[in-house]
Amino acid sequence: MQEIPSQWDLVVDVAVVGSGAAALAAAVSAAVAGAKVVLVERSDKFGGTTAVSGGVAWVPNNPHMADVGATDSREDALTYLRRLSLDRTEDRLLEAFVDHGPEAVRFLEAQTPLRFVALRYPDYHPEFPGGKRGGRSLDPALLDSHQLGSLAQAVRPSPHVPGPISIADTEAGIDLLDFTVIAERLKQGLLAGGNALVAALLKGCADHGVELRREARARQLHVQRGAVVGLAVEQGGRLVQIGARRGVVLASGGFEWNAGLCREFLRGPLEAAASPPFNEGDGLTMAMEVGAALGNMSEAWWMPLCRIPGEEYGGRDMYRITLKERTLPGSLIVNRAGQRFVNEAHNYNDIGRAFHSFDPVAFDFPNVPAWLVFDHGYKSRYPLITMFPEDPIPPWLPQAPSLRALAESQGIDPDGLEAAVRRFNDGAARGEDPDFHRGRSVYDHYNGDSSRDGALRTLGALTTPPFYALRMYAGTLGTKGGPRTNERAQVLHVRGEVIPGLYAAGNVMAGITGLAYGGAGGTIGPALTFGYIAGSTAARDASRF
């Protein structure tokens, strides 16, 4: 444990580590409560994982649900979350999320330029008790970056969302393949998605006097008489000692870019991450150092990822998320035996879990590696990652005139692949998937081909050569294990009691939903809520010096 410095370089009431949704919500809520706040971000851009995301927040019973004709209740929300918990979550944390989520939305909309739009996006298990077919997922409205002045340049750009576009645009009928719309928005300086969410909260922080520091990496917590009273931050080539009279909020993201921690803790193979490569578990390490109890450490927000060779982000290999790619008709996912192993159109978090199946006899993970296989009909109808139907086939996309040849070129069992496609095609002709029930849930339809009906939005035969194989990676959007907290976002000691002065929110904390991903924005909704709880609670905590 580092000794308390004889003199602080800076003294605040609340210090916030990180700059994603949880951190920014914590900082602005602490500042509004009257605290002097500093926020430290280790990279050269603000926004963390949130900034590179779609920015959607899943908040049950939120104040905008009526706008899309949806209704909700505390009971429905808790019923749904408990159904997804598999007895691996704490009810008091779920209750805190459901009770304070709507309040956090109202607060942030009142105190920052953030405005949310409710989506018709179904929950990820809409047919479960308490599940909804829309309304719980909130999309940040477009934001004019000119509001931020020079601070706009400090918002982390997203490699996944190249322009100011959002899911709300799709629901509003805007053709996102018309890039003149996006170009016009770029010229106007508009932000959308995760960038809009981060920019709005950042503006709120600036307006409420939060001191924002970039390239300031928190390294160690200072503890005095059992309470966290400050932290050491690497900045400008030296250690800056920051005293935090009322508390430190850890909101520094997950540990998915720390190979050692992933190997030790995660439940299965992790091949890639779609988050900024700065999420190396800084907050987790600091929390462990002061004796924090850990929870949910084997879990992450899973996502099958793909890759375009040569693409990099933050100096590391870049992996892209897959959503429509897995859902549109004329495609399926197989393992190296050529066998399907999951409903490809299902939500990414739960599909990601299927990559971790273990074969006890072969003693390996049979679904790693896996491939998205599709035919030329699919290629000529739908966009794929960054490719449009009219684009030439890039050299990095393997193709072959037959399924057998494709399988042989990729190390997939040819007999297995031919059999799997034959069976899938037979089912698709009947509009059903007897093996994995693809197309049965309304969720499966949402990202499918809207020109088709029912299960056919996602089911379609692979018949037209050439055939293609895109490697799928067992990936994540970020881990969700870390220091356990109580319902006030206070970090718990391994012995059970609260560690005074230490709070956690977002992906750094032990995720309150356990294995589950409630709906689109299932990461950011709890992050905003617990960030809000952490900031407002810390601001009212006892002053320790």
Residues near another protein, by CB under 8 A: 45, 156-159, 162-163, 177, 179-180, 182-183, 186-187, 308-314, 318, 386, 388, 390-391, 394-395
Q: Which are the contacts of 488, defined by CB distance < 8 A and separation ≥ 6?
A: 96, 533, 534, 537
- Residue 177 C-beta: closest distance to another protein, Å: 6
Q: Which are the contacts of 239, defined by CB distance < 8 A and separation ≥ 6?
A: 219, 232, 233
Identify which of residues 78 and 305 has a Cβ nearer to another protein in the complex.
Answer: 305
- Residue 314 C-beta: closest distance to another protein, Å: 7
- Residue 312 C-beta: closest distance to another protein, Å: 4
- Residue 503 C-beta: closest distance to another protein, Å: 30
Let me know: does 1 contact 223? Beta carbons within 8 Å.
yes
Let me know: does 537 contact 518? Beta carbons within 8 Å.
no
Dihedrals φ, ψ of 369, to 5°?
A: -85, 170
Cα dihedral 157, 158, 164, 167, rounded to 10, equals: -150
Q: Which are the contacts of 89, defined by CB distance < 8 A and separation ≥ 6?
A: 81, 82, 512, 513, 514, 516
- Residue 307 C-beta: closest distance to another protein, Å: 12
Identify which of residues 309 and 411 has a Cβ nearer to another protein in the complex.
Answer: 309
Let me know: does 267 contact 356? Beta carbons within 8 Å.
yes
Identify which of residues 308 and 442 has a Cβ nearer to another protein in the complex.
Answer: 308
Nearest to 285 by CA among 242, 255, 318, 320: 255
- Residue 192 C-beta: closest distance to another protein, Å: 13
Round to whole Å and give the CA distance between 313 and 43. 13
Burial of 531 (0-12, 13-18, 19+ CB in 10 A): buried
Identify which of residues 183 and 259 has a Cβ nearer to another protein in the complex.
Answer: 183
- Residue 468 C-beta: closest distance to another protein, Å: 17
Q: Which are the contacts of 528, defined by CB distance < 8 A and separation ≥ 6?
A: 21, 22, 25, 57, 59, 101, 104, 105, 108
Round to whole Å and give the CA distance between 245 and 471. 50
Identify which of residues 158 and 479 has a Cβ nearer to another protein in the complex.
Answer: 158
- Residue 65 C-beta: closest distance to another protein, Å: 33
Measure Cα distances from 81 to 225, 435, 539 in Å: 38, 27, 29
- Residue 195 C-beta: closest distance to another protein, Å: 10
Identify which of residues 25 and 272 has a Cβ nearer to another protein in the complex.
Answer: 272
Residue keyed to tokens 């629901």: 171
Identify which of residues 359 and 391 has a Cβ nearer to another protein in the complex.
Answer: 391
Identify which of residues 25 and 152 has a Cβ nearer to another protein in the complex.
Answer: 152
Round to whole Å and give the CA distance between 132 and 153. 38
Count Cβ neighbours within 10 Å for each residue of 91-124 and write b for 16 or more, e otherwise: eebbbbbbbbbbbbbebbbebbbbbbbbbbbbbb
Identify which of residues 288 and 385 has a Cβ nearer to another protein in the complex.
Answer: 385
